Amino acid sequence: QKENLGEVAVMFRALAQSERVHTDNMATLLKAKGVEPVAPAVEAPPAGKTAQYLKLALSSESVETESMYPAFAQKAELEQDSVAAQMFKQTLESDARHGRLLKRAMEQETNISKLPYMMCPKCGYIIGSDKDEECRVCKAKKETFKKL
């Protein structure tokens, strides 16, 4: 907002809400397995410019989509935990979308176009078009989408 990049700020808020869905889904899975999740300490991001935040966020999403979630899904499949495997795969797809949004914002810089961000409340996938009739990841119906 301070850099007059309102659409980037809107995108970051949408990403944060999607990540919250992922957090809640994982906490539910852990609780179902008898583990009480502990929230990590929240660290304030280092002072910087929007371009730096975009790079940092894209780097984090890349780690998650290229190694972390694929490894988690593979391990869950080896353990024959289909619920966990499915959740990790859905989170992977959702985070891949985050990466595409971040990359687009970096490429467009100050000319980022306004999108009608909506989110699937079941898997956290961010939908950038009001034309989608269902979530591309978990197939939840359009009526359930949350406008961001």
Q: Tens digit of pLDDT for each residue in 31-85?
A: 999 999 998 888 877 777 888 889 999 999 999 999 999 999 999 999 999 999 9
What's the start-to-end Cα distance of the chain, in Å? 16
pLDDT at 99 over 70: yes
Tens-digit pLDDT profile for residues 47-59: 778 888 899 999 9
Are the C-beta atoms of residues 95 and 69 closer than 8 Å to each other?
yes
To the question of pTM greater than 0.75 for the whole model, the response is: yes
Please tell me the predicted confidence (pLDDT) of residue 110. Answer: 62
Please tell me the predicted confidence (pLDDT) of residue 4. Answer: 73
Across the chain, mean pLDDT equals 90
pLDDT at 112 over 80: no
- More confident call, 41 vs 18: 18
Confidence of residue 9 (pLDDT cuts 50, 70, 90): confident
Please tell me the predicted confidence (pLDDT) of residue 49. Answer: 82
> Rounded to whole angstroms, how far apart are CA atoms 57 and 40?
18
Per-position DSSP letters for the chain, written without gaps between them: -TTS-HHHHHHHHHHHHHHHHHHHHHHHHHHHTT----PPPPPPPPS--HHHHHHHHHHHHHHIIIIIHHHHHHHHHHTT-HHHHHHHHHHHHHHHHHHHHHHHHHHHGGGPPP---EE-TTT-PEE--TT-SB-TTT--BGGGPEE-
Tokens standing for residue 19: 């990540």
> Rounded to whole angstroms, how far apart are CA atoms 138 and 37?
24
- What value does the mean pLDDT take over residues 87-115? 87
